[in-house]
Amino acid sequence: MLRFIIRRVIGMIAVLFAISVITFAIFNVIPNGDPAFRLAGHSATPATIATIRHEWGFDKPVYVQYEKTMEKIFSGTLISYSTQTNVDTEIRHDIWPTISLAVGAALLWMFFAICLGMYSALKAGKISDRFLTVLALIGISMPVFWVGALLSYYLGFKAGIFPNGGYTSLTSNPVQWAWHLILPWTALSILFIGVYSRLVRSSILDTINEDFVRTARSKGLGQRQVLLKHVLRNSLIPVISLWGLDFGAIIGGGAIVTESVFNLGGVGQYAANSIQSLDVPPVMALTIFIAFFVVLFNTIVDIMYAWLDPRIRLA
């Protein structure tokens, strides 16, 4: 098991390195035009541009540029020229709403997805199953920001039941913290419940036809026992792995539109705002940030998979 973990971690580092190179390429190498000009964004005066050109090494060869870029990002000295703020500080502040959103939504959607998926699988082919499938498909077909905007408007602005966006920190007021997050959790979950309930359903249907389930039944075990102990345990393995990946993506700021629509001030929203104002330094840092989390959770999930499924441990 330990060797497995070590190998995965090494792989992870290699991938992160590759990601940093790609990010660098995307922002500084591929596009047309002068990178220093792009970085300066709104405060593009000739003086600023010259400073940037020097600090980032645009007058030097590509690999020096890469080095300097990475240095800036990882040393926490990366500054957004447009807003004159330190990117690192901003991220540290914004991570909390993102984590709150991620954890709440992930638990919510997983709970409902398993319940609905299981129900659907047991009633496979019948009307209730078809109905739930259509609901799931509707959930997948709606853009999260559209759902979020409508929820916010009707339940927040007009009905006044929920606050109209914003974030209250957990430590200052737990009730308000939750209250502000209910709509965002719902909006985000609708999409994921759609995806995951179908995953759970098909995984259960696959597992139910496995030989060992037939063995379990032939042992005289009750239906519930067969379902919960043997079917569910096995069928959730692949689903949990994917869940880990999506969770990691959200923490890294993947819920970019949800945060923006509800004005939660999280990492994703920070990314969205920076993008819209064409402020490149934060976008670069955040791209690496989210990729890091995704890769991290990828590795965690691999390890978790091995823990859940004894067969993998040999690999």
Partner 1 sequence: MAIEPASELSSVEGGTGFEAVAEREHAVGVGPWRLAGRRLRRNKVALAFGVLFLLLVALALAAPIWANDVAHTTTSANHLTEILHEGNKQVYVVSLSGVPVGPQWFAAGGKFFLGADDNGRDVMVRLLYGARTSLEIGIAAAIITTVLAVIVALFAGYMRGITDTILSRIMDIMWAFPVVILGVALGTALSIGGLKVGPVTLQSGSIAIPILIIGFVYVVYMARPLRGQVLSMREKEFIEAARAQGMGSFRIMFTEILPNLASTIVVFFPLAIANAILLEAYLSFLGAGVQPPTPSWGEMISEGIDRITTAPHLTIVPGLMLVLTVLALNIFGEGVRDALDPRSKVRISDN
Partner 2 sequence: MSSTRPLLSVKDLSVSFATEDGTVRAVDGVSYTLAPREILAIVGESGSGKSVTVMSLMGLTRGVNARFGGSAVFGSTDLLTATEEQLERVRGNDIAMIFQDPMTSLDPVYKIGDQIVEQIRAHENVSKAVARDRTIALLDEVGIPRARERVDSYPHELSGGMRQRVMIAMALSCNPSILIADEPTTALDVTIQAQILERIKQLRDATDTAVIIVTHDLGVVADIADRIVVMYAGRIVEQGTVDEIFYDPQHPYTWGLLGSITRLDRERPRRLPSIPGAPPSLLDPPKGCHFRPRCPHEFAKCTDVPPLEAHIGEAPGHLDRCWLSTEEKRVRREVGDGQIGLARPQEAPA
190 near partner 1, rule: CB under 8 A: no
Contact 197, 136 (CB under 8 A): yes
Question: What is the closest distance, in whole angstroms, from the C-beta atom of residue 290 to partner 1 in the complex?
Answer: 5
d(CA 51, CA 122): 65
Contact 192, 105 (CB under 8 A): yes
Look up residue 314 and give its DSSP letter: G
According to DSSP, the residues that pair with 80 across neighbouring strands are 85
List the structure tokens of 76: 């926490």
d(CA 50, CA 173): 47
What does 182 bind: partner 1, partner 2, none (CB cut-off 5 to 8 Å by kind)?
A: none
96 near partner 1, rule: CB under 8 A: no
What does 260 bind: partner 1, partner 2, none (CB cut-off 5 to 8 Å by kind)?
A: partner 1
HEC assignment per residue over 147-205: HHHHHHHHHHHHCCCCCCCCCCCCCCCHHHHHHHHHHHHHHHHHHHHHHHHHHHHHHHH
Question: What is the closest distance, in whole angstroms, from the C-beta atom of residue 294 to partner 1 in the complex?
Answer: 5
Among 23, 152, 234, 299, binds partner 2 (CB under 8 A): 234
218 near partner 2, rule: CB under 8 A: yes
> Nearer to partner 1 by C-beta: 180 or 198?
198
Output 37-45 pairs: Cβ under 8 A, ≥24 positions apart: 38/278, 38/280, 39/81, 39/280, 39/281, 40/81, 40/82, 41/80, 41/81, 41/82, 41/277, 41/278, 41/279, 41/280, 42/81, 42/82, 42/277, 42/278, 42/279, 43/81, 43/82, 43/84
What does 225 bind: partner 1, partner 2, none (CB cut-off 5 to 8 Å by kind)?
A: partner 2
What does 212 bind: partner 1, partner 2, none (CB cut-off 5 to 8 Å by kind)?
A: partner 2
> Nearer to partner 1 by C-beta: 177 or 293?
293
- What does residue 80 show for φ and ψ, rounded to 5 degrees? -90, 120
Binding mask 42-81 for partner 1 (x = CB under 8 A): ----------------------------------------
> Nearer to partner 2 by C-beta: 154 or 307?
307
**134 CB contacts (<8 Å, ≥6 apart)?**
none
What does 195 bind: partner 2, partner 1, none (CB cut-off 5 to 8 Å by kind)?
A: partner 1
According to DSSP, the residues that pair with 85 across neighbouring strands are 80
List the structure tokens of 172: 């200052």
125 near partner 1, rule: CB under 8 A: yes
> Nearer to partner 1 by C-beta: 104 or 253?
253
228 near partner 1, rule: CB under 8 A: no
For binding to partner 2 (CB under 8 A), which residues are involved? 125, 210-212, 214-223, 225, 229-230, 233-234, 237, 308-311, 314
Which residues contact partner 1 by CB under 8 A?
Answer: 15, 18-19, 22-23, 26-27, 30-33, 38, 125, 130, 133-134, 137-138, 140-146, 149-150, 153, 157, 191-192, 195, 198-199, 202, 209, 238, 242, 245-246, 249, 252-258, 260-261, 271-272, 275-276, 278, 280, 283, 286-287, 290-291, 294-295, 298
